[in-house]
């Protein structure tokens, strides 16, 4: 039986997805809705016409057109006061909370010696403090429902660059040398460590906490706007990240928690064939 045709593994679940106006967040929200979840879509961009393509209204329209349930919460995740109301609004509108996907992020790829205090503040507010605050607010509601899933979307930039002596022709060295991912990677490395800590401290309480990153880059609106990609880079379809997120947000915590996972290796480990945003199977040969 195809997923979405009576075998919906998130039926009755309620999810929050931040950064849901475009890219990975929008894709996760759409797939979760197909799988039966009611989804609270969170982002700053409520209506079309912003600097980047995508808005909450557009994502909500797609979800509702395919029979899904969602609500929109406009919020600036960099503002502690703004994000403090997100969980409460979800509970008031949808009636509970089972799944939290902390996807919204802030990035600027500039040389580390040019990073300003404002850059550091925004990176940490969006990429570390917001997931912490939302997870703290979500936890009692998940416990009240007997189970929960927290997924933090991370990045391969959290991995340490190689030490000297360097092969300056190596692609990874080239990226760290010219791509300037240090600030972004630092915030995501902190997120990974926090994820592992949350998971072990919640052991035995039926709450799964994981981090997930693509192997390379996902061709989202945000990634494409940064630029710098070429044929040497691994650009994976958004569906592989979405499938991995789905797996980490329905399997029990005693099986999958505390993972700092990469999308494609996780799917290989689980023996899962990834599906489209409509829940229909896609051939693995389509992964590039």
Active-site amino acid positions: 184
Sign of the Cα pseudo-torsion (236, 240, 241, 242, in order)? positive
| Closest listed residue to residue 171, CA positions, set 123, 217, 214 | 217
- 236's enclosing H/E stretch is strand 235-236
Cβ proximity of 101 and 15 under 8 Å: yes
Nearest residue to 136 via CA among 203, 194, 188 = 194
Residue 171, by phi and psi: left (phi above 0), alpha (psi -120 to 50) or beta? alpha
Under DSSP, the state recorded for 286 is G
CA distance 53 to 144: 38
What's the rounded Cα separation, in Å, for the pair 221 and 54?
8
Q: Check: CB of residue 86 under 8 Å from CB of residue 73.
A: yes
């Amino acid at each position: 039986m195809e997923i979405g045709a009576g075998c919906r593994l998130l039926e009755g679940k309620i999810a929050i997805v931040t950064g849901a106006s475009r890219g990975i967040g929008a894709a996760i929200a759409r797939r979760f809705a197909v799988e039966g979840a009611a989804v609270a879509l969170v982002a700053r961009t409520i209506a079309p016409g912003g600097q980047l393509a995508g808005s909450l209204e557009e994502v909500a329209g797609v979800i509702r057109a395919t029979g899904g349930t969602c609500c929109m919460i406009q919020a600036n995740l960099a503002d502690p006061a703004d994000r403090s109301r997100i969980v409460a609004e979800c509970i008031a509108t949808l009636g509970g909370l089972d799944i939290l996907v902390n996807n919204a992020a802030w990035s600027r790829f500039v040389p580390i010696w040019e990073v300003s205090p404002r850059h550091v503040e925004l990176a940490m507010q969006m990429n570390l403090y917001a997931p912490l605050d939302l997870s703290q607010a979500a936890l009692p509601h998940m416990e009240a429902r007997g189970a929960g899933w927290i997924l933090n979307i991370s990045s391969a930039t959290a991995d340490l660059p190689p030490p000297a002596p360097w092969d300056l022709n190596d692609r990874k060295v080239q990226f760290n040398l010219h791509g300037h991912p240090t600030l972004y990677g630092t915030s995501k490395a902190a997120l990974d460590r926090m994820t592992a800590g949350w998971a072990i401290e919640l052991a035995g309480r039926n709450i799964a906490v994981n981090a997930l990153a693509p192997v390379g880059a996902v061709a989202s609106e945000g990634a494409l706007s940064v630029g710098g990609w070429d044929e040497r880079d691994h650009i994976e379809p958004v569906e592989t990240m979405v499938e991995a997120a789905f797996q980490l947000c329905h399997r029990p915590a005693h099986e999958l928690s505390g993972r700092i996972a990469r999308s494609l290796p996780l799917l290989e480990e689980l023996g899962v064939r990834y599906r489209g945003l409509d829940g229909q199977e896609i051939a693995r040969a389509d992964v590039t």
